[in-house]
A and B are shown apart, each in its own frame.
Chain A
Amino acid sequence: DQQVKQNSPSLSVQEGRISILNCDYTNSMFDYFLWYKKYPAEGPTFLISISSIKDKNEDGRFTVFLNKSAKHLSLHIVPSQPGDSAVYFCAASVRDDKIIFGKGTRLHILP
């Protein structure tokens, strides 16, 4: 029973355009959400997070949107750059409990 779902295994976006990665969750108790980026043979690195009291958080080219009623969050990358090609993981947690990750979406930035 997957609590955090990333339904698109891969996504291809033209360089310079917007990349939108989606994530759905089933546990309404989740109150903190994170996005991670992962390159091959490296550990995941933190991108951006959002708490359930907000609906948007921005950090440079990265923006995360949270829609609590739909139990949906999305990561927007604008503009997309070649170095953004990686696997992106969505994660969620309840306060000091475990952090659950989705299966990931592989983003390809096309020249």
Chain B
Amino acid sequence: DAGITQSPRYKITETGRQVTLMCHQTWSHSYMFWYRQDLGHGLRLIYYSAAADITDKGEVPDGYVVSRSKTENFPLTLESATRSQTSVYFCASRVTPYEKLFFGSGTQLSVL
């Protein structure tokens, strides 16, 4: 029962580099989400997806790209990392609307 896994757990990169955070779920949940957690801001939605090949912007999408070619994977790419993208990133999934979200353990990203 793997659930939802994120990789890597920790990542250090430099400004301007491209970095991809991975998210994989084993439940075949339709809905997947990416959030970032920052002090003073709580959890802010970056992108979400209702199904494979369907994605939509959240509250803070600028500087991020997502794809969902397979139901179980929802990678988040920072095309050119900036220091302001230093954060803890959480992936989440759920089966249907009106269901709870299941979160991964998070990826702590530092952009130097």
Which residues of A are interface residues toward B (Cβ below 8 A)?
6, 32, 34, 36, 41-46, 49, 51, 89, 91, 93, 95-96, 98-104
Assess whether A89 is in contact with B97, with CB atoms less than 8 Å apart: no
Assess whether A98 is in contact with B100, with CB atoms less than 8 Å apart: no
Assess whether A99 is in contact with B42, with CB atoms less than 8 Å apart: no
Q: Which residue of B lies closest to A96 (CB)?
A: B97
* Interface size counted on chain B using CB atoms at 8 A: 26
Nearest-neighbour CB distance to chain B for A40, whole angstroms, equals 10
Assess whether B105 is in contact with A99, with CB atoms less than 8 Å apart: no
**Residues of B with C-beta under 8 A to A101:** 35, 42-45
When the two chains form the complex, which single residue of A32, A45, A46, A104 contacts B98, counting CB atoms closer than 8 Å? A32
Interface presence of B31 (CB below 8 A) = yes
**Residues of B with C-beta under 8 A to A34:** 100-101
**How far, in whole Å, are A89 and B103 apart by their CA atoms in the complex?**
13
Q: Which residue of A lies closest to B58 (CB)?
A: A98
Interface presence of B50 (CB below 8 A) = yes
Further pairs besides A100-B59, A101-B43: 16, Cβ < 8 Å: A32-B98, A36-B101, A43-B103, A44-B101, A91-B101, A96-B97, A98-B33, A98-B56, A98-B58, A99-B48, A99-B101, A101-B35, A101-B42, A101-B44, A102-B42, A104-B43
Residue among A42, A93, A98 with most chain B CB within 10 A: A98
- Given the interface pairs A43-B90, A96-B31, A100-B59, the reply to whether A89 lies near B42 with Cβ below 8 Å is yes
Q: Which residue of A lies closest to B100 (CB)?
A: A46
Interface presence of B75 (CB below 8 A) = no
Residue among A32, A51, A101 with most chain B CB within 10 A: A101
When the two chains form the complex, which single residue of B48, B56, B103 contacts A44, counting CB atoms closer than 8 Å? B103
Assess whether A100 is in contact with B101, with CB atoms less than 8 Å apart: no
Nearest-neighbour CB distance to chain A for B20, whole angstroms, equals 19
Assess whether B45 is in contact with A98, with CB atoms less than 8 Å apart: yes
Assess whether B42 is in contact with A104, with CB atoms less than 8 Å apart: yes
When the two chains form the complex, which single residue of A43, A89, A91, A96 contacts B105, counting CB atoms closer than 8 Å? A43
